[in-house]
Amino acid sequence: MISTPSPAGDDPRLPDLADQVRAELSAAGLPDDPAGGVSVDVDDGVWVRWNAGAELREASGRAFRAGAFQPGGDQVHPAIRHDGMVAQAMGEAMAAILRALGYGVRAGVNDYDPFGLLVSAREPGPHWRDPVVPPLAGSAGYAPGVRVRLLAGEFAGAETTVVSASYRMPVQGPPVGYRVAHPAGTGELDVAPDDLTLA
């Protein structure tokens, strides 16, 4: 069966989607590099594929050009087999990464590029780039150096920095108190956990 992608070549949103996909995969440690690694292209859709490094590609190409495979059979040169295995494994990994972020990913839709992934727009939902905000922020305790705003006492409204946190022993649950830099810059101040929030 020869499949073709849905007609979307004139969709002006595709370059932006391609840029988003590149950014997501790069953030995962897989930058766009058609010479060896991720390749993101716009061609009637946003297509993602994995390209093996030059040495493996060249070995696989030599074996392919020499006809070192049995059409329709299971006899194939190890370079061709390994190149395909790498493309499949990395394709599955990239698909898992993108799906976890809410992108639509379809595999196996183009017989001319069996390892290519067709990616569609991300569904709305939480994202790892979202800002850290209450009520989740601080639920396990603020680390030293985090900027906080005081909510009660003489310095309510002032912003300062966490110096340390105190916990019940053995350590379980959120802190029972914080030591913060004094807002006036003159030492430190002890604060109850409910008396501060993320600045």
> What are 74-120's pLDDT values in tens digits?
899 999 999 999 999 999 999 999 999 999 999 999 999 999 999 99
In a domain, 138, yes or no: no
Query: Is the same domain home to 107 and 49?
Result: yes
Query: Is the same domain home to 101 and 156?
Result: no
DSSP state of 131: P
Domain of 157 in residue numbering reads as 147-198
pLDDT mean over 112-141: 93
Tell me which H or E stretch contains 48: strand 46-51
Distances (CA, A) of 71 to 64, 172, 197: 11, 62, 65
Q: Among the three residues 122, 155, 184, which one is the final residue of a domain in this structure? A: 122
pLDDT digits (tens, 9 = 90+) for 4-31: 444 445 788 999 999 999 999 999 999 9
Higher per-residue confidence, 35 vs 46? 46
pLDDT for the residue numbered 94: 98
Query: Is the same domain home to 95 and 191?
Result: no
pLDDT for the residue numbered 174: 86
**In this model, does residue 132 exceed pLDDT 70?**
yes
- The half-sphere exposure of 58 on its side-chain side, counting CA atoms within 13 A, is 4
Above pLDDT 70, what percent of the chain? 95
Check whether the bond before 135 is cis (ω within 30° of 0). yes
pLDDT mean over 133-150: 93
pLDDT for the residue numbered 8: 44
pLDDT digits (tens, 9 = 90+) for 169-198: 887 778 999 999 999 988 999 999 999 999
pLDDT for the residue numbered 34: 82
pTM of the model: 0.81
Query: Is the same domain home to 19 and 116?
Result: yes
Query: Is the same domain home to 114 and 22?
Result: yes
Closest CA to 48 of 2, 113, 122, 128: 113
pLDDT for the residue numbered 7: 44
Provide the domain count of the chain.
2
pLDDT for the residue numbered 87: 96
Tokens 């061709």 correspond to 80
pLDDT for the residue numbered 185: 87
The span from the CA of 60 to the CA of 54, in Å, is 10
pLDDT for the residue numbered 115: 95
In a domain, 190, yes or no: yes
User: For residue 38, what pLDDT band results from cuts at 50, 70 and 90?
Assistant: very high
